[in-house]
Amino acid sequence: MFKATVLIKRRPSILDPQGVAVEKGAKHLGISNIKSTRIGKLIEFDVDVKDRTAAEKEVNEYCSKLLSNPIMEDFEFNLEEVK
Amino acid sequence: MSLKFGVVVFPGSNCDHDAYYSLRKVLDYDVEFLWHKETDLKQSRVILLPGGFSYGDYLRTGSIARFSPIMDSVISFANKGGIVIGICNGFQILLEASLLPGVMIRNNSLKFACKDVYLSVENRETIFSSEISSDKKVLKIPIAHGEGNYFADVDLLNELETNKQIVFRYADADGNVNDDSNPNGSQMNIAGIVNKKGNVFGMMPHPERACDPTLGRTDGQQIFKSIANYILN
């Protein structure tokens, strides 16, 4: 079995109103050197197969068909084998 | 030719009954609910994807509803030229299903926007806008959404404009389209678009909430009357 950690990031060309608003919060707190805050998603799940290639294939499909929207997001993932 | 609307019900849809009420009780059209787990469109001539929070808006708005069994039927219906209208969450589902181009992101205010807005009619030669009288500069229709900020790259925006796919833009009461009249940050104040073929339409404002005269606004009727006129004539 593999433990998958997926990171989904909004494409640099797509506005991130949440990131902008959160960064304003930083300014209010007096944290003044923060720039270009972008908010993404981190998704964890298990993949119940023995073979890494098969796990990668399945995670790729899950990410590209459902977890991310290819028009506005990019994804990357990490697979850690769980014994 | 018979006119029948099929209103799809997803878990979390909450404007399905408003749509049903306006179509049946106010406009006297034939209408039937279509449960998301079904695949039969029951001879509907028009499919309406209603507003709401399908699947709790989890992951991205519309992203899970897009894979409901009924959506396979809706997609093939649309690809064969069938008429589909998506309102609010329904519009978001059409974007996720790639039946319409672009994406929706969070309102630039980060606030849920719930108020009447004015829509400038940019194209009256669509199935969805042909009955809007030419002396009517704007339609007054309410919005209620947190993610209605339409985003597309420059090429797509140019394409939408060139092909006259932009049907409605957010405007002020006099029809001026500007930043002050933009409630959510949508690019080019886009409030409603059609696909290239002209048979699939999505809009963020809620025409079904602007049909019953008792509620003080009726401009939404013109959108449904346009569809009816197209089918019946």
Residue-level pLDDT at B218? 96
Burial tier of B108 (Cβ tally within 10 Å: 0-12, 13-18, 19+)? middle
Q: pTM of the predicted model, to two decimals? A: 0.92
Confidence of residue B2 (pLDDT cuts 50, 70, 90): confident
How many structural domains are present in chain B?
1
Q: Are B218 and B106 in contact (CB under 8 A)?
A: no
Q: Which residues contact B36 (CB under 8 A, 6 or more apart)?
A: B8, B9, B10, B11, B65, B68, B69, B70, B71
Whether B36 sits among the annotated catalytic residues: the reply is: no
Alpha helices by DSSP H, listed for B182-220, are none
Q: Can you state the percent helix, strand and coil of chain B, rounding each to 5?
A: 30, 25, 45
Confidence of residue B1 (pLDDT cuts 50, 70, 90): low
- pLDDT tens digits for range A20-32: 889 999 999 999 9
Q: Are B146 and B114 in contact (CB under 8 A)?
A: no
Residues spanned by the domain of B68: 4-232
How many structural domains are present in chain A?
1
Complex ipTM: 0.79
Distance from CA of A29 to the nearest CA of B (A): 19
Q: Report the CATH number at residue B30.
A: 3.40.50.880
Computed over every residue of chain B, the mean pLDDT equals: 96
- pLDDT tens digits for range B120-137: 999 999 999 999 998 888
Q: Mutation test of the interface with chain B: which of A14, A63, A69, choosing the one with the most B Cβ atoms within 10 A?
A: A69
B187, closest residue in chain A (CA to CA): A15
Whether B206 sits among the annotated catalytic residues: the reply is: yes
A22, closest residue in chain B (CA to CA): B110
Neighboring chain B residues of A14 at a CB cutoff of 8 Å: 103, 105, 151
Q: CA triplet B41, A65, B151: central angle to 5 degrees?
A: 85
Residue-level pLDDT at B91? 98
Residues spanned by the domain of A62: 2-81
Q: What is the DSSP string of A12-72?
A: TTS--HHHHHHHHHHHHTT----------EEEEEEE--S-HHHHHHHHHHHIIIIIS-TTT
Contact A66 B96 (CB under 8 A): no
Confidence of residue B77 (pLDDT cuts 50, 70, 90): very high
Q: Report the CATH number at residue A75.
A: 3.30.1280.10
Q: How many CA atoms lie within 13 Å of B82's alpha carbon, on the beta-carbon side? A: 21
Q: Which residues contact B50 (CB under 8 A, 6 or more apart)?
A: B7, B8, B9, B13, B14, B15, B16, B18, B19, B87, B88, B89, B90, B208
Q: Quote the CA–CA distance of B160 and B195 in Å, as a whole number.
A: 9
Tokens of B27: 């406009």
